[in-house]
């Protein structure tokens, strides 16, 4: 399924100078709940059991790209950590002690990656809805990281990833439009109870289900 070409990334990676503190923040998008590893695993497992050939191809293509993003984020973390020194900061020391100066399958808080981050229920409509939300969540985290980044080269890299999250969200939305009436969308809103909105707030709000 895969061919690996060393250092052949989708976007050039560089940093002006090491920044271990930001590297620890970027770990969130390597192995966190909304990170690249979770996205790649989610789309690939969905694609492997998808019966729609066109959408199966889409899921596997995007899943493969997410694994490339994962590798890029991992390499960016390595660049931001920099060379090991005897006068390491707390962030540098953590990377050196636990990962030998490189990334690990942990998030920014040090929690290990979990397969519970992967959403795949086997329903084409439900999975595509979940994927759209996943791309938006990833975009939100990358935008927060962008605002924290001080290195223009790192900001450029984050802008690239933000743009790719938007592209994936649009592709999944287009795919969802093509499966209307399938999966959980079949006979959707077909009873009177499906059309009722229970206003349980006091005072009452103006929102109504149409």
Annotation-wise, does 57 bind a ligand? yes
Annotation-wise, does 135 bind a ligand? yes
Two structure tokens written together for 132: 């759209």
Annotation-wise, does 61 bind a ligand? yes
CB 41 within 8 A of CB 115: yes
Annotation-wise, does 201 bind a ligand? yes
- Find all residues with CB under 8 Å of 71, minimum gap 6, and list them: 9
**Distance between CA atoms of residues 121 and 130, nearest Å:** 10
Give the torsion through C-alpha atoms of 125, 126, 129, 133, to 10 deg: -160
CB 98 within 8 A of CB 19: no
Radius of gyration for the chain, computed over Cα atoms and rounded to the nearest angstrom: 20
Two structure tokens written together for 85: 């020194």
Two structure tokens written together for 175: 């795919």
Annotation-wise, does 177 bind a ligand? no
Annotation-wise, does 36 bind a ligand? yes
DSSP string, 97-115: HHHTTS--SB-TTSPBP-G
Residues at the binding site are: 36, 57, 61, 66, 69, 135, 168, 201
Residues at the binding site for Mn(2+) are: 36, 66, 69, 135, 168
Residues at the binding site for Ca(2+) are: 57, 61, 201
């Amino acid at each position: 399924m895969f061919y690996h070409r060393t250092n052949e990334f989708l976007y050039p990676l560089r940093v002006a100078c090491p920044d271990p503190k930001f590297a620890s923040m970027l770990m969130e998008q390597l192995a966190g709940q909304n990170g690249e590893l979770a996205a790649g695993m989610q789309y690939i497992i969905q694609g492997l059991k998808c019966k729609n050939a066109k959408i199966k191809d889409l899921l596997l293509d995007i899943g493969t790209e997410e694994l490339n993003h994962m590798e890029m984020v991992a390499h960016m973390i390595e660049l931001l950590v920099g060379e090991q020194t005897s006068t390491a900061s707390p962030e540098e020391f953590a990377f050196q002690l636990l990962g030998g100066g490189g990334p690990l399958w942990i998030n920014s808080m040090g929690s290990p990656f979990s397969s519970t981050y992967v959403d795949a229920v086997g329903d084409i409509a439900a999975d595509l809805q979940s994927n759209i939300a996943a791309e938006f969540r990833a975009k939100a985290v990358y935008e927060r990281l962008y605002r924290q980044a001080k290195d223009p080269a790192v900001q450029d890299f984050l802008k690239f990833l933000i743009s790719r999250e938007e592209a994936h969200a649009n592709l999944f939305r287009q795919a969802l439009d093509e499966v209307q009436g399938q999966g959980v969308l079949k006979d959707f809103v077909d009873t009177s109870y499906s059309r009722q909105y229970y206003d349980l707030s006091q005072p009452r709000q103006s929102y109504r289900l149409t």
